[in-house]
Amino acid sequence: MDILSPQNPRAKEWAQLLEKKHRDKQHKYIIEGIHLVQEALRSDADVECVAFDVEQGIPGELSPLAGTGTDVEWIGVSAAVIAKCSDTKTPQPVFAVVRKQPADVGLLVQRENSLVIVLDGVQDPGNVGTIIRTADAAGADGVIVGRGSADIYNPKTIRSTMGSIFHLPVVEGDLLELLPQAKEQGVRIVSTSLQATSTCYEYDFTKAAWLLVGNEAKGVSEAAHQLVDDALIIPMKGRAESLNVAMASTVMLFEAMRQRDYRNA
């Protein structure tokens, strides 16, 4: 049945998902736009429903997927409902509600020669989303998002991942518990430091390595820093003092990918 009124109880419930407390309470989140909905459906995410502009119909790109998920409800809604449930000024004509599926951090800890990027207090949703997207592109095994970082289900974070959040495990957890567990399995905790003497291009990334990056202003917290095994510097020829956290993560992840997969290139 179509939902045309923004005052409809279900529309109100969807709109609440724009706030973290309601995402946590309902164990669901909202994704907007054709590309993200497409990626969620293709990746077998736990999609509860897809809401589309009833006047425009199901977008052509999504039509082939409309019958594939037997449990996915497709609901025609008004433009007013879409506007109420959107985080953007010019909403796209479709959104979906997805149930959270917590990733198993144990699999990352136990994976042989794992490459994982670990976020310690990265607060900008755009940075968190970009790092998840980069980790996906570089073939990392997963992303761990420590407390104090932006919510991975924030609409801005989700948009910045460009669908990569559905492609690899993204775990939220306590770094002071998870990093020691990884170290017990032989994982090296690697971080960047302007005071380091070794560069990221000299380091051996072919063995199990978890790359720890910190807050945009303060860097890695003191408690997490105590768990770092190897500090590296990203060499820079120009006059910039430093790279932002998403850029630094990209350099490290792609150097790791080069060493692991393109050593003879």
CATH number at residue 149: 3.40.1280.10
Average of per-residue pLDDT values in the chain: 94
Which of residues 204 and 68 earns the better pLDDT score? Answer: 204
Residues 15 and 120 in one domain: no
Residue percentage of the chain with pLDDT more than 90:
87
pLDDT of residue 174: 95
At 265, the pLDDT band (50, 70, 90 cuts) reads: low
Q: Is the pLDDT of residue 68 over 70?
A: no
Q: How far apart are CA 17 and CA 19, in angstroms?
A: 5
Is 82 in the same domain as 172?
A: no
Question: Residue 235 corresponds to which tokens in the numbers above?
Answer: 């060499």
Listed residues 50, 70, 99: the one ending a domain:
99
pTM: 0.94
Q: Based on the domain organization, do 78 and 173 belong to the same domain? A: no
Say if residue 113 is in the same domain as residue 225.
yes
Domain of residue 204 covers 105-261
Contacts of 233 (CB under 8 A, 6+ apart): 192, 193, 194, 195, 196, 197, 198, 199, 200
Domains in the chain: how many in total? 2
pLDDT per position as a tens digit, 90-145: 999 999 999 999 888 888 988 999 999 999 999 999 999 999 999 999 999 999 99
The strand order across the sheet containing 47-53 reads 28-32, 94-99, 47-53, 73-77
Stretch 143-165: mean pLDDT: 96
Mean pLDDT computed over 26-55 = 96
How many angstroms separate the CA atoms of 122 and 96, rounded?
A: 26
Say if residue 69's pLDDT is above 70. no
The per-residue pLDDT for 219 is 92
Which of these three, 43, 74, 99, is where a domain ends? 99
Same domain membership, residue 113 and residue 30: no
* Same domain (yes/no): 16, 138: no
| Amino acid 194: pLDDT | 83
Contact 104, 141 (CB under 8 A): no
Q: Has residue 26 been placed in a domain?
A: yes
Quick one: pLDDT at residue 242?
86
User: Residues 217-243: pLDDT tens digits?
Assistant: 999 999 999 999 999 999 999 999 889
pLDDT in tens, 21-34: 999 999 999 999 99
